[in-house]
Amino acid sequence: MQSRWSDAEAAAAAEEAQRRNLPPLLGHRIYTSRLIGQDPDLVLHGGGNTSVKIGAPGTGGVIHVKGSGWDLADIDAPGLPALHLDALLEARDIPSMSDEAMVAFLRANLLDPGAPNPSVETLLHAFLPHAFVDHCHATSILALADQDGMEAEVARLSGGRLAFVPYVMPGYDLSHAGLRAYLANPAAEGLWLEKHGLFTFGATARESYERLIRHVTLAEEELARRGGAPGGPQPSDRAAPEPLAAVLHAALAARGALGSDPRLDFRSTPALRRLLSRDDCAELVGRGTATPDHVIRIKPFPLILSAGAGRAEADAALDRYAAAYRAYFDRHAPRAAEPKTMLDPLPRAVLAPGEGIFGLGRTEKEARIVGDLWEQTARIVLAAETWGRYAPIPEADLFDMEYWSLEQAKLAR
Ligand SMILES: [Zn+2]
């Protein structure tokens, strides 16, 4: 992957910030956040987050962190709310905090009380001492992050420059685990988050961004060495199979949970067709989502439905899916500290072997997001299986993420 850094564009971003009475460093932060957000092989649909610290700790400095509801691709100053850095650093001495307490703590330290909620990874950004911190879910990183037992491999691949963080739920626990991993390897230029993604950091916007690009490139090269480079995003090159699209629309509309006119986004790319044609496809796609965030959009597993299915077969498949989803909920809900309410038991992706996949949603946008995430997922799974074995977070962790109170709140917005 090539760095898209341009001195001229960075200078223009800093000037533009000054013209708006904003710190030039915030201009740089907006600039490289967009560079990251505009590459679908780095982050998709609101994934990833970035930050910049302005002013040193102990001097009343602030940290600007991506706000929830913003997408890095077109982020602007209001999407990077400022928080009091010194106050956030006090949380280093607080070993645990509930999700709700953390959100309240973050909100209490916003400079502008009307700003959006800062990212749930705000404390990790704050704890890392570097001025610039970037976080992505790159395709090639995930193909390797979704493997078991990677600690020694990551040390080898990165030349010891990435600190390894065993999987832990995003949020408060990850902020402490990330800090511990960094302190154990203070020469690191980034964090490898097992089964989740990559953090990099640096003194300047360029340094942090180019470290991100370098580690993504190292991952690409490693995958290519074993013949499994994921390649770039692929355009869909086939039309939706009829009458399956009409059958599915009618069967879903009758169930109501996706509205009376559910949207279907059909995709068929070479990678999707390769995945769907594998003998072990059903088992592979049932292992889980490529990064924890995705479960919110695409549910923990898809529905597989033959391309020739009629209405009765589609109804039976949706019933089976609902039963499997309910069983998944019942397996894990009893572990939760507070009672959970089951979400609708309809799939968000329907895989039609030989054809492609349908992303499903209440709106065009929801359906398109599912399509985009599955297009990337297919390339991740194929690359992961060529290199080793695709092993994303286990079902219990997927459930904790899907039913995380903070994610539920995000959906409600
Ligand atoms: Zn993430």
pLDDT digits (tens, 9 = 90+) for 37-64: 999 899 888 789 999 999 877 788 999 9
The rounded Å distance from CA 47 to ligand 1 centre is 6
Which residues are CB-contacts of 90 (< 8 A; sequence separation ≥ 6)?
none
Centre of ligand 1 to C-alpha 137, Å, is 6
What's the confidence (pLDDT) of residue 88?
A: 96
Reported in sequence order, the residue ranges of 342-391 that DSSP labels E, i.e. its strands, are 349-352, 356-361
Average pLDDT on 329-349 reads: 92
Expressed in angstroms and rounded, the spacing between residue 346 Cα and the centre of ligand 1 is 25
Average pLDDT, the chain: 94
The pLDDT score that the predictor gives to residue 404 is 86
Q: Which residues surround ligand 1, an ion (CB under 5 A)?
A: 197
Q: What are 219's two structure tokens?
A: 């991952």
pLDDT of residue 363: 96
Are the CB atoms for 127 and 92 separated by under 8 Å?
A: yes
Average pLDDT over residues 301-314: 96
Q: How confident is the model at residue 337 (pLDDT cuts 50, 70, 90)?
A: confident
Cα separation, 139 vs 135, whole angstroms: 13
Residue 408: pLDDT band (50, 70, 90) is low
Q: 260 CA to middle of ligand 1, Å?
A: 33
Tens of pLDDT, residue by residue over 134-190, are: 999 999 999 999 999 999 999 999 999 999 999 999 999 999 999 999 999 999 999
Sign of CA dihedral 95, 99, 100, 103: positive
Which residues pair with residue 53 across a beta bridge?
Answer: 63
* Residue 411 confidence (pLDDT) above 80: no
Kindly report, residue by residue over 90-114, the tens digit of the pLDDT: 999 998 998 889 999 999 999 999 9
- In the reported structure, the alpha carbon of residue 33 is separated from the centroid of ligand 1 by a whole-number distance in angstroms of 14
Q: How far is the CA of 94 from the centre of ligand 1 (A)?
A: 22
Q: Which amino acid is at 45?
A: H
pLDDT of residue 340: 87
Whether the predicted pLDDT of 70 surpasses 80: yes
**Which pLDDT score, from 0 to 100, does residue 231 have?**
87
CA distance 215 to 42: 11
Distance 43 CA to ligand 1 centre (A): 9
Looking at residue 375, its amino acid is E
pTM score, whole prediction = 0.95
Q: How far apart (Å, rounded) are the C-alpha atoms in residues 211 and 387?
A: 23
CA of 379 to the centre of ligand 1 (A): 19
pLDDT score at 294: 94
CA distances from 323 to 65, 318, 394 (A): 40, 9, 20
